[in-house]
Each structure stands twice: as C-alpha cells, then as structure tokens.
Structure 1
Amino acid sequence: MFCKLNSFSLNGVDTLPVEVEVDLSDGLPGFDIVGLPDSAVKESKERVKSAIKNSGFKFPARKITINLAPADIKKEGSLYDLPIALALLGCMGEIPTNILTSILFIGELALDGSLRSVKGLLPILCNLSPQQFTYCIVPVTNQEEASLIQKCPILLASHLNQVITFLKGDKNLEPCPPTTCSSSIPKEPLDFADIKGQENVKRGLMLAAGGYHNAILIGPPGSGKTMLAKRLPSILPPLTLEEALDITKIYSVAQKLPHHGIIRMRPFRAPHHTISPIGLTGGGAHPKPGEISLAHHGVLFLDELLEFNRSALEVLRQPLEEHQVTISRAQTSITYPAHFLFIASTNPCPCGYYPDTKKCSCSLTEIKHYLRKLSGPLLDRMDLHLEAPSPTLEEMKKTSTTSSTMLYTHVIKVFELQKERFKNQSFHWNSQIPSNRLNDYCQLTAEAQRLLNNWFQHTASSLRAYDKILRLSLTIADFDNTSHIDSSQLAEALHYRLLDRQFWA
C-alpha cells in the first residue's frame, strides 16, 4: 500500500513544499525514513509507533518506508509526525485516503498520541496559496499563531484520535477563531522625561527615529547613554500589520514567540558584549536567527561597543547595508531578514573620561589601542555620532525636560511625510534611499551645495559618508518642514559626523 500527503520544510522564514510518501509492503519488519532527515525527523518513527499503539491501533509488523521528497533538501523538526502517522494509518486502511492530499496536517506527536506544538507554524501559514488546501489541522497549543493568518480554514486538535475521527466523518474538529491586530498599541514604560539634560542627544535620537538612521553615543561613564538608548523605542512609529507579521515569523522560527501571539511592539535587543559572531548573525548546526534578525524592524543596541570582540562587530558590516544575513552551510543556505536600527554606546577610552585631561588617566597609546577596536568601515556606517557629556548640576535641578510624547509627536509627522513620499517605492525611510536616487529627493540650495563640496574636499570622508550626510540632511529638513535642504540643515548633519574626527583622528 502507498499513501502520500503534503507538508512543508522551513528555509529561514520561507518554506519549501515537501511530499510525505509512505509505503507499506511485505518483507522483514522495519521502519526507515529517507529524504535527508535530521535527528528529530529520524526519531519520529519511535513517536509515531507509540502514538499509533496508544491510540488503539495495531502497529503493522511489515516493512515501512517513509520518503520525504525532494530528497536533496534537509528536513528538520517534528512537524512531520502527524502526516507520517496519518499516511501510515491510510496504508493500513484505518482512514480514507482520498481526502488526505487536500488537507495540510502539522503537529508533533507525544507517545500517548497527544499533539504538541511545533516551531515555525506562522511562516508556513503565511506562505500558503489561497485555495491550496481544504483544511489545515494544527495542534491546539499552536492556536495563537494559527489565528493570525487564515488563508484556509484552520482546525484545532489535541490528540491523534480526534484527527482520525474527523477524517472518518464521525465528529468535527474545533475551528480556530481568527484574530487581528488591534488598533491599541502597548505603551512603552520608559520615557525620555526620566533623563535630565542631554537635550542635544535627545534631538539626535529623534532624528535617528524619524529617518531610521544608525547612531553611536560617546561619553563618560554615568552620562546616561544606556538610559537614552533604552528609551528610543518609545518614540519609534508603530508597527504596521505587515511588519508585525514579519517579526512574529522570525520569533516563531526561533521559538521565542510570546504567549500573546503577534508581536505588537518594535523589538529592542541588547546582547551582552561577550556574544559570539554566530550569536549576532545566527547559525549553529541547525541555523536559527541571531540577534540582528531578532531586532528586525526594531533596535539593536550594543552597549559598551568597544568591549565586544572585534570579529563579532565586523560581521555587522554586510547586514547594515543589505538588511539581511545569509547563513551558508555545506548542505543549505538560509537567509534571514535583518533590517534594524543600530544604536551603540561607548566610552572614549579605557577609563572613560577622555578628552577630559583632568580626569582621564589613560596614555595616548592606550587610547589609540582602545579605539582601534572599532574599524573605520563600521564607524562609517553610523549616520549620527552623538557626544553625551556628563550633565551639569544646573541640568540635574531642572524640573522640566523633553519627554517621549513631545519627541514622538515630531517623529510621527516625519514618518507620515516619508510614507507619502515613498508610497510607490520599495523603500520606506530616508536612510534607505538608494545612492542613484538621492538627487531625486535631496534638493540642496546653492549655499548648502558649496558647503558640502568644501567639506568633502577637505576631509578624508568616503562616498558612503557623503550619501549618509545627504540622507540625514533630508531628515532634518523634514523635521523643519522644508522642501529644500539649506546650509543650516546641512551644517547640522555635518556636525553629527565630526566626532569620528575628534576621537578617531
């Protein structure tokens, strides 16, 4: 007897169609799974065997061959347990086989026949074609994910026997009720009003949030760099439904999905400085998303940047430009999205007080060795270099300070302006404007153009820095609500590029 079902294999956040073929034939009893299965798939034969027995069926003492086609694609995970068990029961004549190919079955089997949740369900459901399947049957423990996307009717089951009873037509399964992203956005608990002083840095971070520009904060210990960075999500525009689903798919694959289902707030990832390059980019024997992918559409904050291993920092170069990361292995290549807002903070020297010669105890050699950990190409990818000096006593005594609500009001206006400007484009932020399109959007006055040309001729800046200054100038002009970039706006953008001359010259 032969039976075939349809399933899928995960490739990052994308999916590939897989056919689960089961052949039951005479010969010495055996149970073989072929088609490049990993350990979890190979072990499914023990789970399937026990689940069928404990569900009240006699397991056949015959030769069983399971083929997961195509055979040259690595199959991972436990999502094939349910389709393998049902195809085997179809070969045994316990259930009708004529409807099996029109239903998508996903689920891991426990030894008693119970269904357990599987990772990566949301990417599979998102990539289904309309009318591809009559039903999709998933474990009831995956209900939160299944309710987000319903391109076909989704049914919930908690046991193998429930699925068998449904296929026989004796009893219906519980449908999965759909849920949508509500209009209310969770409020960030942190507020810029908690920070006294640092008004210039707050403006710099407002520009970063408005145009999605990368930024580095440089200053002595205790000046509030970490507090400022942690409050950045409170002024970022809300996620669209499409962005929320993109993030949720990544967290589903990484098995980090929260219990409330869809992710509603922009991620804020702040890994420790001991993290490895693989921890940042993702990878491993079974490649999983790293921190840069978990920060997709959100903020990646590297505190104490120069304490990170240099090899870990250098892997950020390509993702910062391409907004994705590709993990290559001998048998597969997986691409994860990685469009994040990169924020970093650092001290300017080992003791933290340079260039204050009264407090700094570091030698020039020590300072140069410390700053050399951050390469020029990576620093060149930072749009804003923000100096965060220690606040004065007068600033600490002030009762009124700029709050997140005040900054958010300006950011959301600029965000709406960009949405209208780029409504027919593949990019959405000023920081994403391709180099060959900058002249279309960045209109400089004659004085501003002379200032930019003079600056470029008298500095050793790269063409990338030239483009980033234009993009940042456009964001400043958006905040000022002007259609052209004047000399004062360009001068402010140039000011945000001067710290690398002061500390790294």
Structure 2
Amino acid sequence: MLVKIYGSAIYGVTAQTITIEVSVDTPGVGYHLVGLPDNAIKESSYRISAALKNVGYKVPGKKITINMAPADLRKEGSAYDLSIAIGILASSDQIVSDNIADYIIMGELSLDGGLQPIKGVLPIAIKAREEGFKGFILPKQNTREAAIVSNLEVYGVENISEVINFFNKGLPLERTVIDTRKEFQDKINYFPFDFSEVKGQETAKRAMEVAAAGGHNIILIGPPGSGKTMLAKRVPSILPPFTLKEALETTKIHSVAGKIGSETSLMTVRPFRSPHHTISDVALVGGGSYPQPGEISLAHNGVLFLDEMPEFKRTVLEVMRQPLEDRVVTISRAKFTVNYPASFMLVASMNPSPSGYFPDDPNNTSTSFEMQRYMNRLSGPLLDRIDIHVEVQKVEFEQLADRRKGEDSLAIRERVMKAREAQNERYQDLEISYNAQMGPKEIERFCELDEVSRNLIKTAMDKLSLSARAYDRILKVARTIADLEGTSEIRSDHIAEAIQYRSLDREFWNI
C-alpha cells in the first residue's frame, strides 16, 4: 500500500515541502530509502525500529521503499524520523491513514519512542500555512516557536504513541495557541543592560547615540578597563524596537540555526552577537558542507560586536567587507545557492597599541613602529565601512565614585526613534531606510552644505590629514546629527562633531 506523508526541508531561511512516499509490498524483504538522504536519515531505520518496538508496534518484515521527493534535492538531519515511522505504520495498515495528508509531521525519535527537538520550525510552519496544510505535528519543545504562525493548528507531542493514537483512535492532541502580538508587545522593552549604569564616558555615549540613530558602524579605541565592552552591550537598548516583521525575520534565522529555546516563541529584543577572536571565517559569515547561518546573520537586525578587533584573523575580517556593503550573505555550492540576511550594526573595539595604552600614557611600552604595525592589522577597505571612530579615555576615580545615575537608555532611545522617523520619511520612496545606507547619489541630494560648512570640512581634511574616504562618512554622520536635533539643514557644528568621529583617518594618529 502506498502512503504519502509530508515533511519539510530548510534551504537558507526558507522551507520546502518534502513528500515522503512509503510503499510496503509483498513479496520481498528489505529497506530502501531514496531521494538524496544524508547519513542521519539513512540511520533513521535503526531509531524507528527500536522506537516502534518499545511502543508496541513493529517494522513489517516486508519490502519497504521510501522516496523523499523532490528526489534531486539533498535532505539532511534526523527530523524526518517521525514522518517515516508514521508512513511505515500507515502503509502497513497498522494505523488509519485517512487524514494524514492534512498535516506536516516532523520530529527526531529516541529509542523509547520519545521525541527530540528539531531546527527550523518557524520557516516550516510558515510554509505549511502557505501551502494550505491544516496542522503541524512536532516535538513539544518546539511548539511555542511554531505557534507564532496564525491560521495553523500546532500540536506538540512527547511520544510517537500520541501521534499513533491521534490518527488510529481519534484521541485529541493538545493544541498550542499564542497571541503573537500581545507577547511581542509585552516583552519588546525588556533589556538586561542600561546606559544609566555607565559612569562618565559622555563623549562615547554621544557617539553611540549618533551611531544608533543613523545605523552607523562604530569602532571604540581605548585602554583596557575604559568601558568599551560595557558600552557595546548597551547598544541594543537604544536601538528602535523591533517591528513585527523584523522580529519574524530574525527569529527565522535563529530557528534555522537551532538557537530558539523551548520557552521562547518570538524574539522581541534585537540580537547582540559577540564572537570570540578565534572564530573562523565560515563560522562568522556562514557556510559549511551543509550551509548554516553564521554570526553575522544571527546578528541580523541587531548588533555584531567584535571585541579587540585587531586580534581577529585578517581573513576573517576581510570576508565581512561584502556583507557590510550588500547586507546579505550568499553561500554557493555546486548544486544550489542559499542567501542569508546580514543587515547588522557593527560595533568594534580595540586598544590603541599592543600594550593597550595611548602614546601619552606612562604605562605605554610600545614603540611607534609596533603601534603602526598593530594598526595596520585593520585594512583600509574595512575601515572604509566604519563610519564612526571614537576614542574612549579611562574613567577617573571621581566619576566612578559618583553615585548619581546617568541618562537611561529609554530617554536616549526616544531621541534615536525620532531621528529614525525623520529618515524613514525622507527615504520613503527609496530602497534605503537610514543614513548609513546612503550612496553617492543620496549624499549629493540630502547632504547639501553651506559655504561655512564646506570650508570647515576642507580645512579639516587639509589640517588633520583626513583621507578622501572620510569625506562621505563625515557627511553621513553629520546628516544623522542634524536629524537628532530635528533640523533639515546640515550646519557647521554638525560637521565639526562628525569630524571628531574620524580618529583612525588622521595620519599617524597614534604616534
């Protein structure tokens, strides 16, 4: 008897429905699995056999042929165990199969018949709703994630026996229902860190506000213990809150990577990713034999923090150049290509020298040559994509001992949101959303300067030895500073502040 069961495969951050055709025939003996399965799927026969035996059923001693269509797409992972097991039972008339085709069925089996969580549940649920399936049967640990999708019945099960009884005896399964919008609104303003906890560093905090308002990449240069990491961790708290669309996009990526916990449904806070400097280029941008999203995609719509940036391998840093520009990562293989979104805000930090201190600090033991060689670890094209460079000085005792709280993140966030609203209105007919995305045409159109501002930026480039690539960055940042003040024109004081945020473009700044 031939039975069709439906599962799903993940390609990039989208799902594709897989038809699992199971035929149990006589005469003959054997287990034949076709349709480009990987080793995890091929090994499923052992898990299925033990699981069915332990719940009172068995794999029939007949010829079993299983085809996973479309047959030219590679299938991977153990999430098809439950689909194949139910298909074998239905094809051998051990259970009723009248309405099996109405459901997507996915789950990894344990030998006792229990179910283990799977990856990529949210894209699968979205695809199931698009294709008109009635429901989605999956491990209970993944139900909250799948229940984000409306107009789809989501049933979480702990054991294959529950699925068998649902089809065979009509015993109801427990449906999971989540009010997505309510849950989203309830948690959207929760942050573990706040800018009010930062002592001193007013210049750096102002630079962070400007960076958040315009979506600018930023690098912090300062000695150990000056608060660079503390500042970076608080950036998500001043970024505009997720829209529901952004939350779904980001949750899909984390779902594919298996980063969603069993108690979590929809991500409500912008991600903050901080990879170690020993990370490989594949782990950072994504890829592998079976492509998976990397850290820059996990930071989509959030913050990627590279602590001690010069300590990262040069090849790792250089592979970020294209994603920083295009905001997408393309992974190409011989038979397929997948795209992962990578629209993130880069926050980096570094010491001013190998010893960790500025040239005028008594603790500095690095020579001018050592300092210059240290700075050269960061290439010009990479720095070209970082709009704001700010020096972070060490905090004095009086500031540390001051018990007064600084301005909190909520107040800063309100100013950032007003600036973003102005940018959204300005770029509503364009393909960009905020100032950092401006190209030459947008800069020429939206960053007009008066004579005083033009003379100021010319003088700065001559006197401070600013590079030519700094010109556009200064105009972008000045545009954001003007937006924070609510003015349509860029004034000379906006240009002056923007010039201060180009430390690394000054010739021999650290000698």
Give TM-score, length-normalised by structure 2: 0.90
SS of corresponding position for 1:41: helix
Q: How far did residue 502 of structure 1 move?
A: 4.4
Distance 1:151 1:426 in 2: 31
SS of corresponding position for 1:274: coil
Aligned counterpart in structure 1 of residue 279 of structure 2, from 266, 275, 280: 275
Contact 1:199 1:402 in 2 (8 A): no
Distance 1:394 1:317 in 2: 41
1:209 aligns with 2:209: no
Structure-to-structure mapping, 1:276-355, within 5 angstroms: 276-355=280-359
Q: How far did residue 252 of structure 1 move?
A: 1.6
Distance 2:93 2:143 in 1: 30
Q: How far did residue 425 of structure 1 move?
A: 4.8
Distance 1:395 1:280 in 2: 37
Q: How far did residue 444 of structure 1 move?
A: 3.4
Distance 1:27 1:34 in 2: 20
Identify which range, 369-378 or 411-420, moves more after superposition: 411-420
Distance 2:492 2:189 in 1: 40
1:223 aligns with 2:226: yes
Residue correspondences, number: 504
SS of corresponding position for 1:128: helix
Partner of 1:414: 419
Q: For the structure 1 residues 179 and 424, does the alpha-carbon distance in structure 2 shift closer, same or farther, using more than 3 Å as the test?
A: farther
Aligned counterpart in structure 1 of residue 185 of structure 2, from 179, 183, 186: 183
Partner of 2:201: 198
Q: How far did residue 431 of structure 1 move?
A: 1.4
Amino acid in the other structure paired with 1:165 = N
Q: How far did residue 18 of structure 1 move?
A: 1.7
Cα distance per residue 1:321-371 (max 9 Å; x no partner)? 111222334454332222111111111211122321644322222112211
Cα distance per residue 1:111-136 (max 9 Å; x no partner)? 23333321111111123344611222
Partner of 2:365: 361
Partner of 2:94: 94
Q: How far did residue 434 of structure 1 move?
A: 4.2
Amino acid in the other structure paired with 2:202 = E
Q: How far did residue 295 of structure 1 move?
A: 1.5
SS of corresponding position for 2:343: coil
Partner of 1:112: 112
Partner of 2:504: 499
Contact 2:435 2:476 in 1 (8 A): yes
Cα distance per residue 1:426-451 (max 9 Å; x no partner)? 43322123443334433433443455
Q: For the structure 1 residues 440 and 129, does the alpha-carbon distance in structure 2 shift closer, same or farther, using more than 3 Å as the test?
A: farther
Q: For the structure 1 residues 212 and 91, does the alpha-carbon distance in structure 2 shift closer, same or farther, using more than 3 Å as the test?
A: same
Q: How far did residue 454 of structure 1 move?
A: 6.7
| Unaligned 5+ runs, structure 1 | none
Partner of 2:174: 174
Distance 2:267 2:165 in 1: 35
Contact 1:74 1:331 in 2 (8 A): no
Contact 2:467 2:506 in 1 (8 A): no
Amino acid in the other structure paired with 1:272 = H
Q: For the structure 1 residues 224 and 131, does the alpha-carbon distance in structure 2 shift closer, same or farther, using more than 3 Å as the test?
A: closer
SS of corresponding position for 1:174: coil
Aligned counterpart in structure 2 of residue 385 of structure 1, from 389, 393, 417: 389
Amino acid in the other structure paired with 1:340 = F
Q: For the structure 1 residues 90 and 306, does the alpha-carbon distance in structure 2 shift closer, same or farther, using more than 3 Å as the test?
A: same
Contact 2:287 2:294 in 1 (8 A): yes
Distance 1:319 1:123 in 2: 23
Q: For the structure 1 residues 435 and 22, does the alpha-carbon distance in structure 2 shift closer, same or farther, using more than 3 Å as the test?
A: farther
Contact 1:131 1:151 in 2 (8 A): no
Distance 1:125 1:35 in 2: 23
Distance 1:142 1:189 in 2: 25
Q: How far did residue 269 of structure 1 move?
A: 1.5
Amino acid in the other structure paired with 1:499 = L
Distance 1:366 1:152 in 2: 61
Cα distance per residue 1:283-309 (max 9 Å; x no partner)? 333332222122121111111111121
Amino acid in the other structure paired with 1:414 = A
Identify which range, 420-429 or 157-166, moves more after superposition: 420-429
Contact 2:351 2:357 in 1 (8 A): yes
Contact 1:347 1:353 in 2 (8 A): yes
Partner of 1:11: 11
Partner of 2:475: 470
Distance 1:417 1:67 in 2: 55
Identify which range, 254-263 or 307-316, moves more after superposition: 254-263
Distance 2:156 2:197 in 1: 47
Q: For the structure 1 residues 172 and 192, does the alpha-carbon distance in structure 2 shift closer, same or farther, using more than 3 Å as the test?
A: closer
Cα distance per residue 1:454-475 (max 9 Å; x no partner)? 7678967455x44433322221
Identify which range, 271-280 or 357-366, moves more after superposition: 357-366
Amino acid in the other structure paired with 1:110 = S
Q: For the structure 1 residues 125 and 444, does the alpha-carbon distance in structure 2 shift closer, same or farther, using more than 3 Å as the test?
A: farther
Contact 1:214 1:382 in 2 (8 A): yes
1:251 aligns with 2:254: yes
Contact 2:303 2:344 in 1 (8 A): yes
SS of corresponding position for 2:277: coil
Distance 2:81 2:361 in 1: 67
Give TM-score, length-normalised by structure 1: 0.91
